[in-house]
Structure 1
C-alpha cells in the first residue's frame, strides 16, 4: 500500500477549521447588517477539495484512488434574485407616480373646499340669492350694495382658486427642475453608479467578489426607479448600462460614464416621462394638456360663461368685459363705484318696482355656468379619488414585491443564529480532529522505539 504523509490529516483538519471560521465570519457580517437598507444576505460557498491522487497499488486490490483532502471556500455568494429586482423597480416607479399625483390633487381638493362654506359653490349661491333679493326690492340701494359686495366676493374667490391651481403647477415644475438638474438626485445617482461600475469591474477582474459594492449599486438603482422607469443591461464584466424613463438614448449610465446634460435636459426627460415621480410632475406642471392646465381651462370656461350670461341678461356690463378668464374675472368698476347703477328693468318708462332684469339674472341659477362648475368639481373629485385608489393599490403591490425580494435577500436572524451554531459545531469538530491527529503524531514522533509501549 502506497504511504500517505502522517501530516495529511493536519492539513485536512486545518481546511475544515478555516472553512467553518469563514462561515462564522459571513454569519457575523449578515447579523451586523440585518437592518442595513439594501443589504443582501451573503453565504460562504463550500466545496470539497480535489482528492489526493494515490498511485496504483494504493489499495489492497492494487488500484489507485483519490483521497479526500477536506473543504475549501470557493465563493462568498450574494443572495439576489434579478427578476425580483425588476418587479420591485417597476412597482416603485408606479408608486412614485401615484404618490406624487395624489399629493398634488389633495392640495387642489383642499383649495377647492367643496362642499364648504367658503367654496365657489357657496359664493355662487350667495350671488344668485343677492340677485333674487334685488328682484324682490329693486328700488332698495342697500340690496344693490349687498349684491355688489357678494359679486366681488365671488370673483375674488374664482381668481384666488385659479391662483392656487397655478401655484400647484408652478410647484410641480419647480420640483421637477430640481430633480432633473445637474445637482439633482437622478444625475447624482448616475455619477455614483458609474463610479461603482469601475470599482466592481476592477474587483471582478482581480478575482474578487465585490458583494457590498453590488449592494450599493442596487440600492441606487432602487432609488432611481422611484423617479422613472429604469432599464438595466449587464455588460458581462460586472459593469452595467442604465436607460431611464423609457428612453433608449441617451443612456443615463454607460459603463463608467454618466450622462452629462446640456440645458434643457429634455432628451433624457421627455414629456411625459415613463412613470415615476418625474412623469407625475411633468403632467402636473403647467404644460399644455397637463392636469393642472386642464383644470384651469375648465375654470376659465365657467368664468367666461358666467360673465357672458350675466352681462347679457343685465343688458349692460355687470362683470368687466375684459375679464373672461378665471384669472381676470372681475365686477365692472362702475358697478362697484355706484351699485345703484345695477339695472333691474329694461322696460322704457317702467313703473316703480319693475324687476324684469333682476328676475332674469336670478333665474340663471342652476343654468349653464353652474353646470360647468359642477362638472369641474366632479372631475377634480373623481381624479383625486382615482389617484388615491392607485396610490393604495401601488403601495400594497410594492410592499408585496419588497417582501418577495426580502425573502431571498433579507437577513433572518433566526436563520443566522442557527447557522452560527452549525458553524460553531463544525469548527469544534474540526478542532477535535486536529487534536486527535496531533496526539497520534505525538505518539509516532516522541514515543516510537521506547520500551514498554
Structure 2
C-alpha cells in the first residue's frame, strides 16, 4: 500500500520551485539570443508530475484517488513551423535568383555606356558624320584620315563592348565555380550539416532535445536555399537526421553523414541559377554577344558592299571581337565609283546608312533597347521576389523569433511562480517544524 510521505508537500513545493527556475533559465536563454542569427525561441513546457496513486482503502469513498505531486518540465520545446520554413526557403531561392540576374544585367547595362559621348551610338554618329564631311570634300586627305580615325574608334568600341560582356560572364562563371567546386561553400555547408545530422540523431536516440544544434542546421539550410533550391526530407531510419536535395543535382547532397559533391547543376535556382542563366554557354551574355556580332557583321557588310573594296574586316563567327578597319591608308578610302576627282557617290551612300530603315543605327538601338528592357524587368522581378521573401520571413519570425516584450512578461510570470513555490515551501517547513519540534510540549 503506497504511503503518503509527511514531506510530500515539501517535495511538491520543491518541484514547483525547480520547474519555475528552469522556465526562467529558458527565458534568459531566449533573451540573450534575441539577436543571434538563426536562433529559434524555446519554451519550457510545464505540466503536472506523475500523481501518487491511492488505493480504495485509503479514501473515505473507497473509490481510489490520485494525489497530485506538483509540476515539472515535460520538454524544452523549440517553436518552429516546418511549413513556414519551406515557404521562407522557397521565396529566398527565388529572391536570390532574381537578385543575381538583376545585378549582372545592371553591370551589362553599365557596360553599354548608353547614352554617352563614348558609347557605340555616339561612335556611329561620328563615323557617318565623317563620311558626310568627306562627301562634301572628296579630295581632302584630312577628311579621308578622319574617316579612318572614326572607323577605327568605332571598331574599337565594338571590340571593347564585346570584351566587357565576356568579362562579366567570366566573373559570374568564376563565382559559380568557386562556390560549387570541391571544398567550396556548398561542400562546406553540406559537410557541417552531415556532422550535425550525426550529433542530432545521437541526441534524439538518448531522448535529449538538441534545440541549438537544430537551429544551426536550419541556419545552414537557409544559406543553401539562397544558393539554390533545397528540399529537406526527414530520415525515418535515423530520427532527427535529414536528407538534403540541392538544386537539380542527380543525387542527394547530404544523406545522414554522407556528402555527395561535386555534382552537375544545370538549372538549380537561387544565386547559382542566376549566375548560370547569365554566364552559361547559350545564356544571356552569349545571346547578347551574338546580337552584337550580328550588328558588327551587318555594319561591316553594308559598308563593304558600298565601298566596293573591303573597308572593314572581321572573323566569321566572332565578328564583334575581331571587327577592324581593313583600309590602311587615306588613299585607300574610296569616295566615288568612277574614281574621278570629286566623285562622292560612295561617300554619300555610306553616310546615308545612318537613316536606313533597319540599318546599323536601328539595329544597335534595338540591341540597346533589348538589354534595357531585360534589366528593367529583372529589377522589377527582384523587387517582387524581395517583397515576397520579406513577408515569408516575417511570418516565420512571428513564430520562432524572440520578442523581448513577451520574454519580459514571461520573466515576471515565472518569477511570481517561483516566489509562490518558495512561499509554499517556507509555510510547509514552518508547519513541519511545529509538528516535529513543538507538538506535545506543555504550555504551547
Do they superpose with TM above 0.5?
Answer: yes
- 1:358 corresponds to which residue? 347
Write the distance in 2 (CA, Å) between the matches of 1:366 and 1:81.
63
**Which secondary structure does the structure 1 equivalent of 2:36 belong to?**
coil
Please say if residues 242 and 255 of structure 2, whose CA atoms lie closer than 8 Å, have aligned partners that are also in contact: yes
Query: Structure 2: which 5+ runs fail to align?
Result: none
Deviation at 1:295, TM superposition (A): 0.3
**Which secondary structure does the structure 1 equivalent of 2:166 belong to?**
helix
- 1:402 corresponds to which residue? 393
**Which secondary structure does the structure 1 equivalent of 2:268 belong to?**
coil
Write the distance in 1 (CA, Å) between the matches of 2:69 and 2:57.
19
Deviation at 1:321, TM superposition (A): 5.3
Match of 1:373 among 346, 356, 364: 364
Does 1:304 pair with 2:313? no
Question: Residues 384-441 of structure 1, C-alpha deviation per residue, up to 9 Å, x if partnerless?
Answer: 1111111111111111111100000000001001100101000000000011110110
Please say if residues 297 and 314 of structure 2, whose CA atoms lie closer than 8 Å, have aligned partners that are also in contact: no
- 1:274 corresponds to which residue? 268
Question: Residues 255-302 of structure 1, C-alpha deviation per residue, up to 9 Å, x if partnerless?
Answer: 1111143xxx42xx2x2x231111111122251x21000000000000
Query: Structure 1: which 5+ runs fail to align?
Result: none
Deviation at 1:322, TM superposition (A): 4.5
Write the distance in 1 (CA, Å) between the matches of 2:255 and 2:280.
33
Write the distance in 2 (CA, Å) between the matches of 1:81 and 1:226.
19
**Which secondary structure does the structure 1 equivalent of 2:72 belong to?**
strand
Distance 1:396 1:252, change over 3 A: same
- 1:76 corresponds to which residue? 76
Deviation at 1:179, TM superposition (A): 0.5
Please say if residues 170 and 286 of structure 1, whose CA atoms lie closer than 8 Å, have aligned partners that are also in contact: no
Deviation at 1:63, TM superposition (A): 2.8
Write the distance in 2 (CA, Å) between the matches of 1:118 and 1:201.
63
Q: How does 1:298-337 map to 2 (within 5 A)?
A: 298-320=291-313, 322=315, 325-332=319-326, 335-336=327-328
Q: How does 1:26-105 map to 2 (within 5 A)?
A: 26-105=26-105
- 1:257 corresponds to which residue? 258
- 2:243 corresponds to which residue? 241
- 1:435 corresponds to which residue? 426
Deviation at 1:347, TM superposition (A): 2.3
Please say if residues 93 and 275 of structure 1, whose CA atoms lie closer than 8 Å, have aligned partners that are also in contact: yes
Does 1:294 pair with 2:287? yes
Question: Residues 171-230 of structure 1, C-alpha deviation per residue, up to 9 Å, x if partnerless?
Answer: 111111101011211110000000000000000001100000000000000000011000
**Which secondary structure does the structure 2 equivalent of 1:232 belong to?**
strand
Write the distance in 1 (CA, Å) between the matches of 2:143 and 2:94.
55
Question: Residues 321-357 of structure 1, C-alpha deviation per residue, up to 9 Å, x if partnerless?
Answer: 547600000001xx33x21321111126x3x422111
Q: How does 1:149-164 map to 2 (within 5 A)?
A: 149-164=149-164
- 2:179 corresponds to which residue? 179
Match of 2:374 among 367, 383, 392: 383
Write the distance in 2 (CA, Å) between the matches of 1:214 and 1:309.
66
Distance 1:104 1:321, change over 3 A: closer
- 2:278 corresponds to which residue? 284
**Which secondary structure does the structure 2 equivalent of 1:44 belong to?**
strand
Write the distance in 2 (CA, Å) between the matches of 1:212 and 1:286.
39
Write the distance in 1 (CA, Å) between the matches of 2:285 and 2:291.
10
Please say if residues 178 and 184 of structure 1, whose CA atoms lie closer than 8 Å, have aligned partners that are also in contact: yes
Deviation at 1:4, TM superposition (A): 3.2
Please say if residues 52 and 69 of structure 2, whose CA atoms lie closer than 8 Å, have aligned partners that are also in contact: yes
Does 1:222 pair with 2:211? no
**Which secondary structure does the structure 1 equivalent of 2:324 belong to?**
coil
Question: 25-34 or 372-381, which moves further after superposition?
Answer: 372-381
Please say if residues 42 and 76 of structure 1, whose CA atoms lie closer than 8 Å, have aligned partners that are also in contact: yes
Please say if residues 314 and 322 of structure 2, whose CA atoms lie closer than 8 Å, have aligned partners that are also in contact: no
Write the distance in 1 (CA, Å) between the matches of 2:184 and 2:355.
49
Write the distance in 2 (CA, Å) between the matches of 1:444 and 1:380.
92
Question: Residues 56-109 of structure 1, C-alpha deviation per residue, up to 9 Å, x if partnerless?
Answer: 243333332111110111100001010110011111111111111111111111
Distance 1:286 1:211, change over 3 A: closer
Deviation at 1:3, TM superposition (A): 6.9
Question: Residues 120-145 of structure 1, C-alpha deviation per residue, up to 9 Å, x if partnerless?
Answer: 00100110111111111111111111
Q: TM-score, normalised by structure 1?
A: 0.94
